[in-house]
Amino acid sequence: MPRIIPAAALAAFLLPAPALADDITDALNAAIEAYEAGDIQDALAETGYATQLLNDMQSQGLEAFLPPALPGWTRELSEEPAQGLGFMGGGSSAEAEYTGPDGRFTIMMVADNPMVGAMAGLLGNATIMATMGRIERINGESFLNADNELSGLIGGRVLIQASGAPVEVMAEHLEQVDFDALAELGG
């Protein structure tokens, strides 16, 4: 039960979408009821559902950080990335595809995923990054340029990857991201 109470407090704190927040509160209340009745399986199912809804909320927050398309470019948001994180330990993600005069590329953001945490040792260390490729600085953040694919770790918990176009084009789009605000996402 100690883990359910902080989750309920977190859910109460993150109430920007009333209908979704009601579903979260309902699931957490159902989990508490199931736990108190001794039905651990149902309690786990309800907390899992609440976790999924909270991750969906955070994914919507991540979407807001995907940069708008620059003049001459278009941006299409993907609906798929968040659905695939369950087997990778959970977390939130957002992805957009950009199309313009220099081709097509994608930017993906993944937050609070165990695999992202494992990459922190690589992308959080400039010496190691330099052995894997070239370091590019975008608004004060270090990005690894490995074979024209940019990867950066923001705030130790949000992975940004951009691939498919010349690095200069992708970097120009990424310059629009408020990395300080992104690091504080959901916190």
Q: How confident is the model at residue 186 (pLDDT cuts 50, 70, 90)?
A: low
How deeply is 109 buried, as exposed, middle or buried, from its count of CB atoms within 10 A (0-12, 13-18, 19+)? buried
Residues 32 and 110 in one domain: no
The model's pTM: 0.71
Residues 77 and 168 in one domain: yes
Q: Each residue of 47-99: pLDDT tens digit?
A: 888 777 776 776 667 888 999 999 999 999 987 654 445 445 567 888 999 99
Q: How confident is the model at residue 137 (pLDDT cuts 50, 70, 90)?
A: very high
Query: What's the total number of domains in the chain?
Result: 2
Q: Looking at residues 157-172, what average pLDDT do you find?
A: 94
Written as six digits, the tokens of 61 are: 């927050």
Residues 82 and 170 in one domain: yes
Domain at 128, CATH number: 3.40.1000
Q: Looking at residues 32-39, what average pLDDT do you find?
A: 90
Residues 8 and 88 in one domain: no
3-state secondary structure of 113: coil
Domain hosting residue 12, numbered range: 4-57
